[in-house]
C-alpha cells in the first residue's frame, strides 16, 4: 500500500474568536506559536512513515494560520514536505506584502481568504475584524506577489442580511475574479453565544434564507463558475488560460474518500480504515510533544459498511457522477427508486449515480434517504 498523499496542518491561533466559530482555536498566545510549530514538526516526524514519498496536497488551516508569528510560520512552511498544491488559509486583515512574500517563499501555491461578507454591518455581526477594503487590498497584494489561485470564503444567511445584500456580496466577490469560492450558510449552533444573540432574528428570517442557497448557486453559475461541490465553486478549466483544474485538490481528496494525515491540536486523520482526532487542548498537545510522543487521540475504527456509507455521502456532494458499483450494500434501493421518480437522483450509465440540480439543493436529506 502506497503512503498518504494529503497532509493537513492545523494552526489554531486567532486574534479573536468570532461568535459563530466552532473550530478548534486558541486566542492570542503569541509566545506559544514557536513552541506549537515545533510540536507540529515533532508530530510530523512521528508520523512521517505514513506519508508517500511525494505529496499531492498540503493544507494549512486554522484558526488563522496567517496570524501565526511570522518566523514560526516561515519555519513551518520551510519544514513541511512540498506538494503540487499547498494551500494556506488567511484572514484579509493579516495579508501584507511581507506575508505574501513569506507564503510564496514557503512554497504556498494557493491562498484561501476568509472574507465572509463585504457589508460592514454584517462583518460586525459576525465579529470579523476585516473591513471590506481589507479584502480588496489582500487580493491585490497576493496577485502582485504572483498568487494565481485564490479562493474566497463567503457566509450567507447572516442575521439581518437581505437578498439584495447577498447579491451585493456575491457581486463584490466576483469582481475580484477569484479562481475559487466557498459559500456556506451560517450555522447557528445551539448553545453558542452567537445563537443566544441572534437566534430570534434567524428564526424570523428562516423562510427568506431558505432561498439564499439557490440564489448563490444561480449567481455563481451565471458568472461562469462550476458548482463542483455542495458549497464550492471554481472557474472551469476551459475558461482558465492554463486550462488548470481549479477545484481544491486537497478537499477533493476528502470527498473522494482518500486517506489523509492531520497534524496539530484537534486535527483529524484517516489512514487505512482508522480515523483519529488529536486532543483539542493546546496544553495537552504541547505536553505530549515535549515527551516526543503522539498527542492523546480519539480513535475510531471504520468498518466496511461505514466506509461505504461515507463514500456515498461524500461522493454525492460532487457534480461528477459517483461510481456506485461497489456501494450497493450502502444504498436503500426502494428509496433510490423513489428519489429517481421525484427527479432528485439519476443514473449516469450503468454504474454511476448523481444528484440532479434539485437533488443537490436537498443533498443532505436525499443522501440520508439513500443510506440503507
- Tell whether residue 167 is a contact of another protein (CB under 8 A): no
Q: Tell which one of 75, 235, 247, 277 touches another protein (CB under 8 A).
A: 277
197 touches another protein (CB under 8 A): no
User: Per CB under 8 A, does 180 bind another protein?
Assistant: no
Burial class (CB in 10 A: 0-12, 13-18, 19+), 200: exposed
Q: Does 317 bind another protein (CB under 8 A)?
A: yes
Q: Which residue has the cell 511525494?
A: 54
Q: Which of 45, 65, 165, 46 is nearest to 110 (CA)?
A: 65
Give the residue, chosen from 3, 35, 199, 363, that forms a contact with another protein under the rule CB under 8 A: 363
State which residue, 118 or 254, has the beta carbon closest to another protein: 254
* 163-166 long-range contacts, CB within 8 A, separation 24+: 163/208, 163/211, 163/212, 163/215, 165/119, 165/122, 166/212, 166/215, 166/216
Q: Least distance from C-beta 324 to another protein, angstroms?
A: 16
Q: Please, which residues have CB within 8 angstroms of residue 229's CB and are 6 or more apart in sequence?
A: 247, 251, 255, 317, 318, 319
Residue 223 or 342 with smaller CB distance to another protein:
342
Among residue numbers 55 through 84, which ones bind another protein (CB under 8 A)?
none
Residue 300 lies near another protein (rule: CB under 8 A)? yes
The single residue among 34, 197, 202, 314 that binds another protein, judged by CB under 8 A, is: 314
For position 320 contacting another protein by CB under 8 A, the verdict is: no
Cell 497532509 identifies what position? 7
Interface with another protein includes 227 (CB under 8 A)? no
Rounded CA-CA distance 168/163 in Å is 9
Q: Which is nearer to another protein, 31 or 207 (CB)?
A: 207
- Helix axis angle for 97-105 and 132-144, nearest 10°, is 40
Minimum CB separation of residue 16 from another protein in Å reads 21
x/- string (CB under 8 A) for another protein, residues 230-259?
Answer: xx-------------------x--xx----
Q: Tell me which residues in 333-362 interact with another protein (CB under 8 A).
A: 338-339, 341-342, 344, 360-362
Q: Name which position in 4, 5, 8, 123 contacts another protein (CB under 8 A).
A: 8
CB atoms within 10 A of CB 204: 11
Least distance (Å) between residue 72 CB and another protein: 22
CB contact set of 119 (below 8 Å; sequence gap of 6+): 132, 161, 165, 168, 169
Could you tell me the CA-to-CA distances from 77 to 86, 108, 258, 293, 321 in Å, in that order?
Answer: 10, 8, 23, 22, 36
* Pair 126, 158: CB distance under 8 Å: yes
Q: How far apart are the C-alpha atoms of 299 and 270, rounded to whole Å?
A: 10
87 contacts another protein (rule: CB under 8 A):
no
Q: DSSP class of residue 81?
A: P
| Candidate list 310, 323, 340, 346; residue touching another protein; CB under 8 A | 310
Per CB under 8 A, does 211 bind another protein? yes
- Only one of the segments 67-75, 166-174, 194-202, 303-311 lies at the binding site for another protein (rule: CB under 8 A); that segment is 303-311
Residue 185 makes contact with another protein by CB under 8 A: yes
Selected from 11, 44, 267, 336, the binder of another protein by CB under 8 A is 267
Q: How far apart are CA 95 and CA 88, in angstroms?
A: 12
User: Going by DSSP bridges, is the β-strand pair 274-278/268-271 parallel, antiparallel, or unpaired?
Assistant: antiparallel
Q: How far is the CB of 329 from another protein (least distance, A)?
A: 14
Binding residues for another protein, rule: CB under 8 A, are: 8, 184-185, 187, 210-214, 230-231, 251, 254-255, 260, 262, 266-270, 275, 277, 300, 306, 309-310, 313-314, 317, 332, 338-339, 341-342, 344, 360-369, 371
Amino acid at each position: 500500500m502506497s503512503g498518504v498523499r494529503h497532509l493537513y496542518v492545523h494552526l489554531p491561533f486567532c486574534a479573536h474568536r468570532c461568535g459563530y466559530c466552532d473550530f478548534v482555536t486558541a486566542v492570542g498566545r503569541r509566545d506559544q506559536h514557536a513552541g506549537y510549530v515545533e510540536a507540529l514538526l515533532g508530530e510530523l516526524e512521528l508520523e512521517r512513515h505514513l506519508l508517500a514519498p511525494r505529496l499531492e496536497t498540503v493544507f494549512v488551516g486554522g484558526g488563522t494560520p496567517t496570524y501565526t508569528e511570522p518566523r514560526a510560520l516561515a519555519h513551518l512552511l520551510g519544514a513541511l514536505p512540498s506538494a503540487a498544491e499547498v494551500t494556506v488559509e488567511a484572514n484579509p486583515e493579516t495579508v501584507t506584502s511581507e506575508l505574501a512574500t513569506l507564503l510564496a517563499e514557503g512554497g504556498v501555491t494557493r491562498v484561501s481568504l476568509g472574507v465572509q461578507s463585504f457589508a460592514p454591518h454584517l462583518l460586525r455581526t459576525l465579529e470579523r475584524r476585516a473591513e471590506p477594503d481589507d479584502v480588496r487590498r489582500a487580493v491585490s497584494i497576493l496577485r502582485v506577489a504572483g498568487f494565481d489561485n485564490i479562493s474566497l470564503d463567503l457566509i450567507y444567511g447572516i442575521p439581518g442580511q437581505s437578498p439584495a445584500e447577498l447579491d451585493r456580496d456575491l457581486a463584490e466577490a466576483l469582481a475580484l475574479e477569484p479562481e475559487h469560492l466557498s459559500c456556506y450558510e451560517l450555522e447557528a449552533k445551539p448553545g453558542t453565544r452567537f445563537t443566544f444573540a441572534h437566534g430570534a432574528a434567524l428564526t424570523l428570517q428562516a423562510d427568506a434564507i431558505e432561498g439564499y442557497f439557490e440564489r448563490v448557486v444561480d449567481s455563481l453559475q451565471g458568472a461562469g463558475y462550476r458548482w463542483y461541490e455542495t458549497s464550492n465553486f471554481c472557474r472551469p478549466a476551459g475558461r482558465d488560460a492554463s486550462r488548470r483544474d481549479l477545484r481544491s485538490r486537497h478537499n477533493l481528496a476528502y470527498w473522494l474518500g482518500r486517506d489523509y494525515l492531520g497534524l496539530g491540536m484537534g486535527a483529524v486523520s484517516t489512514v487505512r480504515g482508522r480515523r483519529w482526532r488529536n486532543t483539542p487542548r493546546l496544553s495537552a498537545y504541547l505536553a505530549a510533544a515535549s515527551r516526543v510522543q503522539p498527542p492523546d487521540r480519539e480513535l475510531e475504527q471504520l468498518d466496511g459498511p461505514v466506509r461505504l456509507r461515507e463514500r456515498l455521502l461524500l461522493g454525492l456532494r460532487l457534480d461528477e457522477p459517483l461510481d456506485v458499483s461497489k456501494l450497493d450494500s450502502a444504498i436503500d434501493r426502494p428509496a433510490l427508486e423513489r428519489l429517481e421518480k421525484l427527479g432528485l437522483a439519476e443514473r449516469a450509465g450503468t454504474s454511476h449515480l448523481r444528484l440532479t440540480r434539485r437533488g443537490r439543493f436537498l443533498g443532505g436529506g436525499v443522501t440520508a434517504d439513500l443510506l440503507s
